[in-house]
Chain A
């Protein structure tokens, strides 16, 4: 899949999700099963730099979502640092 198509797929998949706005990197791997995990990771990082996606961190875990979508501040149950 070319990069633009992969980006579109990521954005569309995220937009379709109801309720949840933040996802583990592993979820992104699942949405792009034919791509190498490392390639998906690099693409996600690129999309963060391009301000399409953003990291969300509880301090111990990192999730990724569309920039500006969902609540900003909420800790997960049972998180430590």
Chain B
């Protein structure tokens, strides 16, 4: 089918072996042009066509033709909608406005077909018909809608589909979580429950921006970190345990004997030879806390860092412990103002049970500190670096423990605070004069 704009450069992107967004856009362009289902489009049907046109022009010029930012939004919300405008509106009138909507995804991204159809119907009718499933924070993203449609979409979302907008700007971003107990035997916590609970608890922080910059929560059920909370969230909740790894010695022998496939058969496409428990498990334990005497596997729990390697390799023989909770890591971020950073271990272990009161205290302590001390556009991880990790610990009223120490100190100065010094800064001058002349 002949489309509105010629796109020779984009067409090249369709020639590779992988699925192409260009083909997807063309398909949507054709479907909106012919409109076989008779949809009552509230935004121009040509949006995908003009989008292809403006992207082609950007490739030609080697520069973007989008301007982003604006006051578009739904009433009372300071986030969830990101204004985008095309700087060539005469050439591409259908995408003169091309606002993005971030929609809070269901926990762990479980959908029913009916729900997906409702979403797609809404996006097709009141938007461009183009989605991004999902944005990197996890949101369902509707790409491209016009200003008058925003309130309409919001109304339908909240009233018909029972779904809310997600976060953007200087607020709490849409929390996200791994599959956890719904599909995964490694889960140490119910990530869906805590994710949903905190999304509801912190509605104000999600919708009414009051932070210096963005703030992300992510919940992983175990240290395998499937939603990469460690690297991608300002506060990572990572499921863990503090008792022993449960060992089924018979199953260990079955792995050694070859009856059970290591890594649940994930590497069976190639012949790697017989499973060697010494080489593949014991020697790879990062803290060398495992032993194998030929018939019995042992683990020194005190020295186990919960790296998951042994459990991932022999899931039928080893299981996470039963006294479970979370480790909290703070300050991960992508490189924008400062370099990229992984989260730092803030709380080694804390129970993670409804109603999560202790966790809320920690979160709110961190927020109070950051809102008070953080500069505009400074992530909490950057504040932590600027003022020191100690300040983060003080913000949540925690004493430093060995797990917080990254390396021996290199700064020889010790700055005492008044409350740390017996008697404070004031002294009894008469007592002093007894020993020292003027």
Contact = CB atoms under 8 A, between A and B. Distances in A.
A62 B69 contact: no
Contact of B78 (A48, A73, A76, A78): A48
A49 interface: yes
B71 A55 contact: yes
Instruction: Classify chain A's interface size.
Output: 20 to 34
Interface in B206-242: 208-210, 212-214
Contact of B371 (A37, A54, A62): A37
A24 interface: yes
Interface stretch (B79-87, B112-120, B396-404, B428-436): B79-87
A25 B70 CA distance: 17
Contacts of A62: 78-79, 169-171, 209
A48 B76 CA distance: 7
Nearest to B207: A45
Contacts, number: 88
B34 interface: no
B174 to A, nearest CB: 12
A59 interface: yes
Nearest to B336: A80
Interface in A58-81: 58-62, 72-76, 78-81
Contacts of B135: 81
Interface residues of B, number: 33
Contacts of A24: 212, 376
B68 interface: yes
Contact of A55 (B67, B73, B85, B376): B73
B372 A57 contact: no
A72 B71 CA distance: 6
A72 B79 CA distance: 16
Interface in A40-57: 41, 45, 48-49, 54-57
B209 A54 contact: no
B212 A26 contact: yes
Nearest to A57: B169
Contacts of A78: 336
B337 to A, nearest CB: 9
Contact of A75 (B67, B76, B79, B375): B67
B110 to A, nearest CB: 25
A76 B377 CA distance: 12
Contacts of A56: 69-71
Interface in B45-88: 67-71, 73, 75-76, 78-79, 81-83, 85
- 8 A-B pairs with least C-beta separation: A62-B169, A58-B69, A62-B209, A59-B82, A55-B78, A75-B69, A73-B70, A62-B170
Interface of A: 24-26, 37, 41, 45, 48-49, 54-62, 72-76, 78-81
Given A26-B376, A78-B336, 4 more contacts: A37-B371, A59-B82, A73-B85, A80-B336
Interface of B: 67-71, 73, 75-76, 78-79, 81-83, 85, 100, 135, 168-171, 208-210, 212-214, 334, 336, 371-372, 375-377
24 contacts: A24-B212, A26-B375, A37-B372, A48-B76, A48-B78, A49-B75, A55-B78, A56-B70, A56-B71, A57-B70, A57-B79, A57-B82, A58-B82, A59-B82, A61-B170, A62-B169, A62-B209, A73-B67, A74-B69, A74-B70, A75-B67, A75-B69, A78-B336, A81-B168
